Amino acid sequence: MEQKLPPLTAGTLYLVATPIGNLEDITLRALRVLKECDVVAAEDTRHSGQLLKHFGLSKPMLSYFQFNEAKRSEEIIERLRRAFAWRRCRERAR
């Protein structure tokens, strides 16, 4: 019997630990979040792209590493704010 899980919450940052070596070490929860999220921010987009491809997933990706951290942080926070505001509008409309 398959359990119906609630959808991911818009405007929420999900942190996902990914395997460094063996791709089979990824958790079911990590796969679910990667499958359902809108965008993936990763330190190494090449490695993360290979991971997504291995599991048949395709997502827009943002590079996020030491030298672009300040700029990307602002961009990610703004994406989260917009999604949160959209979610609040939908909740009020009900």
- Which pLDDT does position 93 carry in this prediction? 84
Interval 10-42: pLDDT, tens: 889 999 998 888 888 999 999 999 999 999 999
- Domain boundaries of the chain, sorted by first residue: 1-86
Helices (H) and strands (E) in the chain, counts: 3, 2
Asked if residue 86 lies in contact with residue 10, where contact means CB atoms within 8 angstroms, the answer is: yes
- 3-state secondary structure at position 85: helix
The structure's pTM equals 0.81
Asked if residue 74 lies in contact with residue 52, where contact means CB atoms within 8 angstroms, the answer is: no
- What is the fold of 1-86? Cobalt-precorrin-4 Transmethylase; domain 1 (3.40.1010)
- Which pLDDT does position 7 carry in this prediction? 87
Asked if residue 39 lies in contact with residue 8, where contact means CB atoms within 8 angstroms, the answer is: no
